[in-house]
């Protein structure tokens, strides 16, 4: 049995922190978390509940020129639980953010942030 007990945070590389913050805060509705330590690069942290966080890191992306699969479910990604997938779809539609629904038939969808990071959203009820 593993000693690993939780996923504490996921870190995503972003090229333009202001653009990324607009997406994560205004489009997705996340709230910045106070207490990010002084680090040698710009960034923002978000509390996802349950002790889990999302960290945006304003650092060069070594994979920026790589080709990504069209469907986010076949790419590296993080999955986030949502209360209401239809509400999130409306927010993404209003912001003209492209997304695709899960090919498995479950209440889930995928989109990419402005830097091409793939996000999966799963309705948790």
- Asked if pLDDT for residue 84 goes beyond 90, the answer is yes
- C-alpha 13/C-alpha 60 separation (Å) is 7
- Asked if pLDDT for residue 19 goes beyond 80, the answer is yes
Task: Please name which of 108, 70, 69 lies closest in space to residue 88, comparing C-alpha atoms.
Answer: 108
Q: What is the pLDDT of residue 74?
A: 82
Domain residue ranges in the chain: 9-60+69-123
Handedness of CA 77, 17, 15, 44 (dihedral sign): negative
* Cα within 13 Å of Cα(31), Cβ side: 6
Q: What is the pLDDT of residue 8?
A: 92
pTM, full prediction: 0.91
Any idea which fold 9-60+69-123 has?
Answer: 2,3-Dihydroxybiphenyl 1,2-Dioxygenase; domain 1 (3.10.180)
Structure tokens at 22: 């607009």
Q: What is the pLDDT of residue 1?
A: 81
Q: What is the pLDDT of residue 87?
A: 94
Confidence of residue 66 (pLDDT cuts 50, 70, 90): confident
Mean pLDDT score, 28-33: 96
Mean pLDDT score, 80-85: 94
Mean pLDDT score, 51-63: 93
């Amino acid at each position: 049995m593993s000693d690993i007990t939780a996923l504490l945070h996921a870190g995503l590389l972003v090229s333009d922190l202001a653009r990324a913050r607009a997406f994560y805060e205004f489009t997705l509705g996340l709230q910045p978390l106070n207490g990010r330590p002084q680090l040698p690069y710009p960034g923002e942290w978000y509390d996802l509940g349950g002790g889990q966080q999302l960290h945006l890191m304003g650092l060069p992306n070594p994979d920026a020129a790589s080709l990504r699969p069209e469907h986010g479910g076949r790419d590296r990604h993080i999955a986030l639980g949502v209360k209401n997938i239809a509400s999130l779809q409306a927010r993404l539609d209003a912001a003209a953010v492209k997304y695709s629904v899960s090919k498995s038939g479950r209440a889930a969808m995928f989109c990419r942030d402005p830097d091409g990071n793939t996000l999966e959203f799963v309705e948790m009820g």
